[in-house]
């Protein structure tokens, strides 16, 4: 009998191990299903969507729309062909198709408010909190250019990654409309000779990485822009913006790519106005 018990012990251990494993797996699946359900409920919420008409007259400037799409980062997040790409775990959508599906007012509402015309919210990686002040004429031009492009299939179909859904379910990732705040929006974007250009451009093009106060964000990888700008004279700053090379001629992990892909499309007048604005700001703590 003792020998039989000894022979049966491994089988009992194996049986209870399998049972425990099955229970643990079931618990994981239930937890996953619960979190998925909570996140789906959040992502499917409807918000009021009554886009006001743009207040700017005239047809879109398609060439300017193309330039702005580069400078403001549309191609950085949605891919060079604007057909969507993997952006930090989120598949961004094909905005060629979106621009054809939305009129200019609906497109502006999505960009500024993070709400589609059907009332559903865009995901958290759309920088609507920074673009909420984008001028009517610039949105008109970008929308017009995108809508003029031939429609092509998605580079990758849009998905919601499980790790992001976990953030939604536990309240760490909020939908854009939940954090959106109303602010005055210009009809026409300020020109470089206008003192308002610097604050405006920094908000729509720089604050996403460097923060609303421009003193740094993204885990410390994006430095204070006033500090950086004061280290460069205008000629060196222009070279940095156009080429991505710093004062020592070196590449920077993120900014060099941003400079070459986006900011190199800025005009010299825009670069000078931005440099003047940034160097006028106090350093952190001053």
- In whole angstroms, what is the distance from residue 52 CA to residue 194 CA? 27
Question: Measured between alpha carbons, how far apart are the two ends of the chain, in Å?
Answer: 85
CA-only gyration radius of the chain, Å:
25
Per-residue model confidence (pLDDT) at position 1? 43
**Could you tell me which residue, 16 or 94, shows the higher pLDDT?**
94
Per-residue model confidence (pLDDT) at position 97? 92
Q: Which helix (H) or strand (E) holds 237?
A: helix 234-243
**Could you tell me which residue, 145 or 15, shows the higher pLDDT?**
145
Per-residue model confidence (pLDDT) at position 149? 96
CATH topology of domain 62-179: Cytochrome Bc1 Complex; Chain D, domain 2 (1.10.760)
- CATH architecture type of domain 197-280: Orthogonal Bundle (1.10)
C-alpha distances out from residue 61 to 64, 124, 233, 268, Å: 5, 29, 33, 20
- In whole angstroms, what is the distance from residue 234 CA to residue 97 CA? 40
- In whole angstroms, what is the distance from residue 250 CA to residue 99 CA? 38
- In whole angstroms, what is the distance from residue 94 CA to residue 196 CA? 33
C-alpha distances out from residue 16 to 8, 13, 233, Å: 13, 5, 72
In this structure, of 58-72, 79-93, 138-152, 199-213, the range with the lowest mean pLDDT score is: 79-93
In this structure, of 79-88, 179-188, 243-252, 274-283, the range with the lowest mean pLDDT score is: 79-88
Residues of the chain above pLDDT 90, percent: 49
* Residue-wise pLDDT tens digits, 26-48: 887 777 776 667 666 677 778 88
Mean pLDDT across 269-285: 95
Per-residue model confidence (pLDDT) at position 21? 82
Please state the domain extents for the chain. 62-179, 197-280
Same fold, 62-179 and 197-280: yes
Grade residue 2 by pLDDT with cuts at 50, 70 and 90: very low
**Could you tell me which residue, 220 or 159, shows the higher pLDDT?**
220
Grade residue 123 by pLDDT with cuts at 50, 70 and 90: confident
In this structure, of 18-27, 104-113, 168-177, 208-217, the range with the lowest mean pLDDT score is: 168-177
* Residue-wise pLDDT tens digits, 67-110: 999 999 998 889 888 988 877 667 788 999 999 999 999 999 99
Q: Is the pTM of this model over 0.75?
A: yes
Q: Burial, 181: exposed, middle or buried (Cβ in 10 Å; 0-12, 13-18, 19+)?
A: exposed
CB 82 within 8 A of CB 146: yes
């Amino acid at each position: 009998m003792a020998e039989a018990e000894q022979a049966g012990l491994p089988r009992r251990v194996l049986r209870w191990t399998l049972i425990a494993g099955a229970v643990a797996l079931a618990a994981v699946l239930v937890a996953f299903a619960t979190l998925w359900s909570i996140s789906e409920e959040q992502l499917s919420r409807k918000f009021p969507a009554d886009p006001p008409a743009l207040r700017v007259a005239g047809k879109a400037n398609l060439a300017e729309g193309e330039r702005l799409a580069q400078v403001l980062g549309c191609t950085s997040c949605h891919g060079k062909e604007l057909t969507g790409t993997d952006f930090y775990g989120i598949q961004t959508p094909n905005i060629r198709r979106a621009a054809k599906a939305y009129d200019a007012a609906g497109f502006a509402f999505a960009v500024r408010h993070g709400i589609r015309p059907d009332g559903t919210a865009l995901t958290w990686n759309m920088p609507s909190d920074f673009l909420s002040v984008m001028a009517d004429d610039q949105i008109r031009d970008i929308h017009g250019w995108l809508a003029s492009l031939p429609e092509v299939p998605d580079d990758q179909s849009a998905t919601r990654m499980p790790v992001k859904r976990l953030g939604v379910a536990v309240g760490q990732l909020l939908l854009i409309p939940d954090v959106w705040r109303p602010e005055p929006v210009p009809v026409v974007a300020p020109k470089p000779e206008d003192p308002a250009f610097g604050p405006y451009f920094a908000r729509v093009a720089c604050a996403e990485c460097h923060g609303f106060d421009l003193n740094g964000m993204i885990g410390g990888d994006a430095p204070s822009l006033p500090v950086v700008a004061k280290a460069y004279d205008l000629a060196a700053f222009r070279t940095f913006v156009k080429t991505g090379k710093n004062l020592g001629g070196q590449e920077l992990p993120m900014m060099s790519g941003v400079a070459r892909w986006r900011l190199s499309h800025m005009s010299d007048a825009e670069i000078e106005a931005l440099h003047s604005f940034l160097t006028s700001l106090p350093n952190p703590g001053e």
